[in-house]
Amino acid sequence: MSIRAFELVPAIETVTQISPAHDKSKSSERGPQLQVQQQIECIESCGKNIFIGTNDGYIIEYSFDEKMLNGRTGYESHQTKHRFLGQKKPVNQLKAASALYRLLVQFDGSVFMLSMFDLEPVTTASKAKATSFCLNENPDSNNPFSVQMCTASKKKQLHLFTVTEDRIMHDHEIQLPDLPVTMAMDGSHICIALTSQYIVINCDTNRLQDLFPYDSETTMPFVKRVAKEEFLLSGPSALGMFASASGISQRPPVHMIDNLASICYSHPYVLAMNEQFITVHSVIDQQQKQIISFNGGRVLGEFDGRIFVASAREVYGVVPVPWEIQIQSLLADKRITEALDLARNSYKTGLTKDRFNKIYETIQQQAGFIEFSQHRFSEAVELFKSGLVDAREVISLYPLLMPRSSNYTRAVPALHDLADIRQITHGNQQQMSEYKQFLADFLEDIRETRRVLACREEVDTALVKLYAEMDTDKLCKLVQNNCKADLSDCTEVLQQHGRYHALALLHRARGDLNSALALWTRMLDGELEGDPLVNIKYMAKILTSVTDQHLMWKYADWLLKKDEKLGVTMFTCQSVDGAELEPAQAPAVLEFLQRYPEALLKYLEYLVFSLRLEKEKYHTHLALLYMNNVQNLMKTNNTEQGLLEDARRRLQTMLQDSSAYRVHILLGKAQELELSAECAILHGKLEEHEQALEILVHRLRDYAAAEQYCSVNARGRSRSYRHKLFYNLLTAYMSQPADGNTETAKALMEAAISLLNSSKAEFDGAEVLRLIPEDWPISLVRQFLVRTVRRSQHECRMKLVEQALAQGARAGAEVATASVMNRSEIVTEDRCCAVCHKPFRDPQFLRYPNGIVSHIHCSNHRHICPVTGKLFKVILPHPRSGSPTKTTSFQSSVTKPQIRES
């Protein structure tokens, strides 16, 4: 598909030259027009100069200026110098060495140098025999004032030269398998067209790499360097072949025109010329992009960043159309892939990276809106994301989605020519729904990205309006997730679509919990359209998290009327950070809950069991409520036995575990209700164990409960207390029943024997033996007697062991004391304190078990080393006073200072 990538601009409309006569006299700067038979043979450009070689031995220099006329590049040129080479033979090649300010000329089978200043020969430089030559465009030399030149000869050889300002120095030669025709050099690699074969030679190693053959009768060989170690070659069937220095083609071939006369490369295009046309081919997609009519073309080349083409008598500049214009043309034709490919590859045109990124993002945005208008959503969203499109630009295409408070205006210059999506859908509701779904997905995807921070209000407002219309579950999640939507705009839309739950969530997210609670209560009261997610449990959960006491009391009565169990959670689930502290509002809550007995019971359980408050009034109140509940169940005739048992179990557990209630009040209430088991527990709290066991054993005849009672009340008590408690139980068992029933007496005896033989019970053996009747056979209490004797023997032996251990410890302490007391310490005048490092002036000092000696006033503690900090566990007291031992020792009739052992 065609595109205008280049345009022809005249550079030198008609080449003129000085006649031979005038040339000898040099009296005229400009001569007559070139004769008909004289033609341009080759050209070269350096800076703002064009050098033309003719077919009759002339070199003509033109100077030109580039000017912008009506937005287009133009040239103004004039001849400055010329040179006749002495023979009317064609000038085959010209190459400029700009660093040396020299012009290399291939003429009459030789290569020589001219000065660019005056086109005079450089006489100090010798000529090099050559049929063709090339310069190294990527030299390995570190000398900036020299160039590398490669020449071809008629002897199947290549010659390498180093060219300086005044010398052409031969380096070495390379043998070839055939005659060279043309070549190009890059670094240490030379790509050569032989008479029927393309090859690559490494001039450092002389390694030869075959590329591919060609037919010299049908193919004109060309070799052009296009990049580092990469060359463009003219191949069979008019193919432009790319080859690297390693012999690998890294790009697909380009199909060029027939009868090829010349080629050149200007990224990302290959230009090919024959006698009638210049064709432009893209290396991106290998397609022909443009055909330029140009008759009689002889030379086409890229010179110092500019492209020039010459016919026999004229020179034209092939000026690239700015790539932005090319891309806009492609976008206008909706050729998006080509436009993006061209944009990606146009960074090499000299733009800064930041500038290119900005332009490329704009192109991606434009392409995205084209895809968007053609209903290709997946392509559009990728282009919008990669192009960093402003989300408001997309939202503005949807009527009524932008908040009224937004002052956004569309991008200038415009990224598209769309008014809104109604222009695209033409009223098709299915397409309208698809476009809205696209916007919702796109905004949701980019909502948390950094580029949306500046337009978060517009994005969230659009999403709220879309979700409200599309009836999606995402609406509730959105309004709770840091939603920045315009509240007034969204309120109207949410009310219009009946999304009252979402509106309440939005109010709550904005800190207006009162408005949110008002909406929820109206929904549950049936005044507004309900929502499956909103029920009494949900409302209780919300009110539980309320920290505003005013709001909590405002809605507490409403919730308790709906459900007492859920309503009380407003007070029982308040956070207290796990501390067992009485809530400040507890008295007020208890007063408030008097109208709601079930809630009152739950709240008292919360205070007593959850917060573990040890306040008598709470425990007593809760126990009385439990008793009232039991009383009500006992009065009801059709009460299930399980309910009554469960109520009494809760009461008994509370009475047993708690010790903060008023026992006498509860005991009177329990006796009034004839709750025997509860009375037994309460007698136990009063330490009236005989009465409690009397109830359990003789009134309830619940022997297991009696034994459990003793075990529970004996826990953590002294041994004598435990003995007494179990002795009281045994006494209760041994007493005769009041009614004289023999079966009861037998059961009591069996219970007594079982208790005696039980390992859980603890007795004083002597007291029990006095209680046991003399007529009982020993076999009945054999286990008790064996266990008692063994326990007695064990205790006796353990006392003997303890006594022996104590004696051993005492003996060890005495030995250690003697060892310390008999140890002497010699302190001379040269010895210093280990703490202050000063000599001892006082005969008294401290010596620690680890050998540290210090002044008495330098030590803070007698049992802690002042240097190492070690704590000494063994303290050696004085036998009488308990003070540290003081000893005096003598040696060699020198009195030792006193030693204080620590």
How does pLDDT run across 204-239, given as a tens digit for each residue?
Answer: 888 999 999 999 888 999 999 999 999 999 999 889
- Radius of gyration of the chain from Cα atoms? 56
Spatial distance between the Cα atoms of 286 and 270, rounded to a whole number of angstroms? 9
Q: Rounded to whole angstroms, what are the CA distances from 405 to 408, 448, 461, 487?
A: 9, 22, 11, 11
What does residue 854 show for φ and ψ, rounded to 5 degrees? Answer: -150, 165
What is the reported pLDDT for 252?
A: 92
Query: Tens of pLDDT along 404-428?
Result: 888 898 988 889 988 999 999 988 9
Instruction: Name the average pLDDT for the chain.
Output: 86
pLDDT-derived band at 900, boundaries 50, 70, 90: very low
Establish if 282 belongs to a structural domain: yes
What percent of the chain clears pLDDT 90, i.e. is strictly above it?
A: 42
pLDDT-derived band at 19, boundaries 50, 70, 90: low
Four-CA torsion 425, 427, 428, 434, nearest 10 degrees? 60
48 SS3 class: coil
Within 10 A of 400 (CB to CB), how many other CB atoms are there?
11
Domain stop point among 321, 351, 366: 321
Q: Taking 90 as the threshold, does the pLDDT of residue 769 lie above it?
A: no
What is the reported pLDDT for 777?
A: 87
Query: Tens of pLDDT along 319-334?
Result: 988 888 888 888 888 8
What is the reported pLDDT for 884?
A: 46
Nearest to 86 by CA among 113, 119, 58: 58
Residue with tokens 């003509």: 60
Establish if 133 belongs to a structural domain: yes
Q: Taking 90 as the threshold, does the pLDDT of residue 805 lie above it?
A: yes
Residue with tokens 């290998």: 286
Within 10 A of 220 (CB to CB), how many other CB atoms are there?
17
**Model-wide pTM > 0.85:** no
Give Cα 286 to chain centroid, integer Å: 41
Total domain count, the chain: 2
Asked if 120 contacts 114 with a C-beta cutoff of 8 angstroms, the reply is yes
Check whether the bond before 268 is cis (ω within 30° of 0).
yes
pLDDT (average), residues 532-561: 88
Which two three-digit tokens encode residue 239? 């193919």
Nearest to 858 by CA among 872, 841, 875: 841
User: What number of CA atoms fall less than 13 Å from residue 848's CA on the CB side?
Assistant: 25
Which residues, other chains included, contact 774 with Cβ-Cβ below 8 Å and sequence gap of 6+?
A: none
> In 793-885, which ranges are E strands?
844-847, 853-854
pLDDT-derived band at 579, boundaries 50, 70, 90: very low
What is the reported pLDDT for 90?
A: 93
What is the reported pLDDT for 233?
A: 94
pLDDT-derived band at 348, boundaries 50, 70, 90: low
Question: How far is the first Cα of the chain from the last one, in angstroms, to the nearest whole number?
Answer: 105
Query: Tens of pLDDT along 71-120?
Result: 788 888 999 999 999 899 999 999 999 889 999 999 999 999 999 999 99
Asked if 399 contacts 420 with a C-beta cutoff of 8 angstroms, the reply is yes
Asked if 131 contacts 194 with a C-beta cutoff of 8 angstroms, the reply is no
Establish if 703 belongs to a structural domain: no
Establish if 479 belongs to a structural domain: no
Spatial distance between the Cα atoms of 1 and 7, rounded to a whole number of angstroms? 17
SS3 readout for 562-629: HCHHHHCHHHHCCCCCCCCCCCCCHHHHHHHHHHCHHHHHHHHHHHHHHCCCCCHHHHHHHHHHHHHH
Position with higher pLDDT, 24 vs 640:
640
CATH number of the structural domain spanning residue 73 = 2.130.10.10
Strand 844-847 to 230-234 pairing: unpaired
Q: Taking 60 as the threshold, does the pLDDT of residue 581 lie above it?
A: no
DSSP at 111: E
Asked if 298 contacts 310 with a C-beta cutoff of 8 angstroms, the reply is yes
Establish if 816 belongs to a structural domain: no
Asked if 190 contacts 200 with a C-beta cutoff of 8 angstroms, the reply is yes
Spatial distance between the Cα atoms of 143 and 132, rounded to a whole number of angstroms? 25
Within 10 A of 210 (CB to CB), how many other CB atoms are there?
12
Domain stop point among 261, 295, 321: 321
Establish if 295 belongs to a structural domain: yes
Query: Tens of pLDDT along 123-158?
Result: 898 999 999 999 998 888 788 889 999 999 888 999
Q: Taking 70 as the threshold, does the pLDDT of residue 793 lie above it?
A: yes
Establish if 231 belongs to a structural domain: yes
Q: Taking 50 as the threshold, does the pLDDT of residue 891 lie above it?
A: no
Which two three-digit tokens encode residue 757? 């033989």
Nearest to 785 by CA among 753, 748, 757: 757
Angle at 766 between CA 764 and CA 771, to 5 degrees: 95
pLDDT-derived band at 549, boundaries 50, 70, 90: confident
Spatial distance between the Cα atoms of 725 and 269, rounded to a whole number of angstroms? 109
Residue 867 structural domain? 823-895
Establish if 332 belongs to a structural domain: no
Domain stop point among 321, 349, 373: 321
Spatial distance between the Cα atoms of 499 and 20, rounded to a whole number of angstroms? 98
Which residues, other chains included, contact 219 with Cβ-Cβ below 8 Å and sequence gap of 6+?
A: 234, 235, 236, 260
Q: Taking 50 as the threshold, does the pLDDT of residue 876 lie above it?
A: no
Spatial distance between the Cα atoms of 481 and 883, rounded to a whole number of angstroms? 74
